[in-house]
Homo-oligomer: A and B are copies of this chain.
Amino acid sequence: MPSYTAPTRDARFIINEMLDLAGYADLPGFEAASVDVTDAVINEGGKFCAEVLAPLNQSGDQEGCTRHEDGSVTTPKGFKEAFDQFREAGWGTLSQPEEFGGQGMPHVLGFAFEEFVSSANQAFGMYPGLTNGAVSALLAKGSQEQKEKYLPKMISNEWTGTMNLTEPHCGTDLGMIRTKAEPQADGSYSITGTKIFISAGEHDMAENIIHLVLAKTPGAPDSSKGISLFVVPKFLVGDDGSIGERNGVVCGSIEHKMGIHGNATCVLNYDGAKGWLVGEENKGLAAMFIMMNAARLGVGVQGLSQAEVAYQNAVAYALDRRQGRALTGPAEPEAQADPIFVHPDVRRMLMDAKAFTEGMRALCLWGALQVDLTHKAKTEEEREQADMLIGLLTPVIKGYGTDKGYEVATNMQQVFGGHGYIEEWGMSQFVRDARIAQIYEGTNGVQAMDLCGRKLAQKGGAAIQAFFKVVGDDIADAKGDNTLAPMAEALEKALGQQQAATMWFMQNAMQNPNHLGAGAHHYMHIMGIVTLGWMWLRMAKVAQAALAAGGEDKAFYEGKVATARYYMDRYLPDAGALRRKLEAGSESLMALDEDAFATAA
């Protein structure tokens, strides 16, 4: 069975040393997040995930969820009890507002914990994960009454939440949804329609499920400007918070999927279910994007999480499995063969994984800090800067993070050779679970268009200019240090590739928007490469300073500097190739009509 240890040392390095979370103690919510508290939360959270959730991961995959004739769903053995422990320990309350029973801690801590949960058991993590998405929409758009009615029990995880967007004929293009919401005399709406791919849509782990549902009111515009958001509880909730009668929403079936078997992916049939409008009519898309943006960051973390757990197991296997000899001569002559860890091609895969996971962890936690600063930074300018940066980088974290996460998980499976293909070893599950993250909450193609079609152009390019400035400043700063200078120069070149690609879009996409669409994927990957390079430069700087100061943990900091160097050697070169592909434009890409794609016999 695969194993998992939460990478708490690395999380603490990023939070305490790179982000210096304690340095924000004068902001609301941050005052409680002292280094001691942070360390305790990270360490205890990591322990909980490794000890309670990870042991259920493989059995959950093998058993899956079962739907019964009455529409009820049983989750895999142990999930309910683990969720009880999760709830009792209050893990779901970490970064939620104190007003509704949360602990009000920075999102940075919530994100760090989310990674551990998802590495330990991604399918399990989606039950509280989706709840968080629903909570964020209600917090932003719900009425005070709705907040008071639903949020405390959702935040405490007595109840869970879902997001109901997709229908059989539409996912990305939500303007096409057909689910109807008919206004009733009592101010509620009668919701009727079919939603598919509803993660955590039905289960036996909580006493109620609060569905947030996109639907159309009568006469609403036939586009994304005509969709509204509704809260539809599985069981109606009395004014005193008591559980009332069963609402008209039933799980019609659950999907048989490639992975995340432990999560119930439901077809939900709404048949005159009672729902209440959240926010304004026809403004559902904006509310949906609040859930979606939170969810997208969470999905980016999933890309990291599967790469991380796969990496840990690949390292263990590479040190244990013996085949062949080191190219430079036997490393352990007394043994019949050397561990495969000595082979450069195995090391290449492990180093690729290490460079990705640690860089991606830094990016996710940096991103979580921006989420906090968007609301809590002292000045309007700081809040706006944080908002721009996280808006710009959300599709990169989701899109690049999950593309690479899947690639790394696949390579870690490769380290196992034939054993990687056998389900018993667990590596296949990491790959199969990682695969979904490239697809849901907006496919990575949608992320690329969000980045290039919306975010780049917003406010006259203010966000991308702000990004170029913060990265450029850190590069300029690092050039003064002998160790960091070569890395900074390499990163500067990659940043130059991104700037050139940005310029190419500006000069060409107006005249032909297909040029933008044809290069969006490449641009997202260039930006992912540059952004992780930036994180590595920041980590190397902190590590370099720690080494200069002497003190403990020398090997840890040396590892950071060496891995930063590896990242610059082996990741940055792709930026130039991607730019060349992007600059090829859409001509040869769109040249053929559909007949040319038919298989001719």
Which A residues lie at the B interface, using CB under 8 A?
5-10, 43, 46, 166, 169-173, 176, 196-197, 222, 255-259, 312, 315, 319, 322-324, 327-328, 336-337, 341, 343-351, 354, 406, 410, 413-414, 417-418, 420-424, 428, 431-432, 435-436, 438-440, 443-445, 448-449, 512-514, 516-518, 520-521, 555-556, 558-559, 562-563, 565-566, 569-570, 573-574, 576-578, 580-581, 584, 586, 588-592, 594-601
Contact = CB atoms under 8 A, between A and B. Distances in A.
7 contacts: A170-B323, A258-B431, A312-B599, A319-B594, A327-B516, A417-B439, A566-B591
Nearest to A329: B513
A294 to B, nearest CB: 19
B444 A414 contact: yes
Contacts of A559: 592, 596
A557 to B, nearest CB: 11
A345 B514 CA distance: 9
A512 B323 contact: no
Contact of A173 (B170, B337, B518): B337
A269 to B, nearest CB: 18
Given A555-B595, A584-B570, A348 B601 contact: no
B328 A514 contact: yes
A2 to B, nearest CB: 13
Nearest to A168: B419
Number of copies: 2
A351 B589 contact: yes
A589 B566 contact: yes
A345 B517 contact: yes
A173 B589 contact: no
Given A337-B173, A347-B590, A431-B258, A562 B518 contact: no
Given A570-B589, A577-B573, A418 B344 contact: no
Nearest to A62: B256
Contact of A414 (B438, B512, B514, B596): B438
B514 A600 contact: no
A343 to B, nearest CB: 6
Contacts of A351: 588-589, 592
A421 B258 CA distance: 6
Contacts of A172: 323-324, 417
Contacts of A436: 421
A420 to B, nearest CB: 7
A558 B584 CA distance: 19
A159 B343 CA distance: 40
A255 B5 CA distance: 28
Contact of A327 (B173, B513, B555): B513
A588 B576 contact: no
Contacts of A337: 170, 173, 176
B445 A258 contact: no
A599 B312 CA distance: 7
Contacts of A414: 438-439, 443-445
Contacts of A512: 328
Contacts of A328: 512-514
A196 B10 CA distance: 39
A551 to B, nearest CB: 16
Contacts of A319: 594, 597
Nearest to A3: B599
Contacts of A347: 518, 589-590
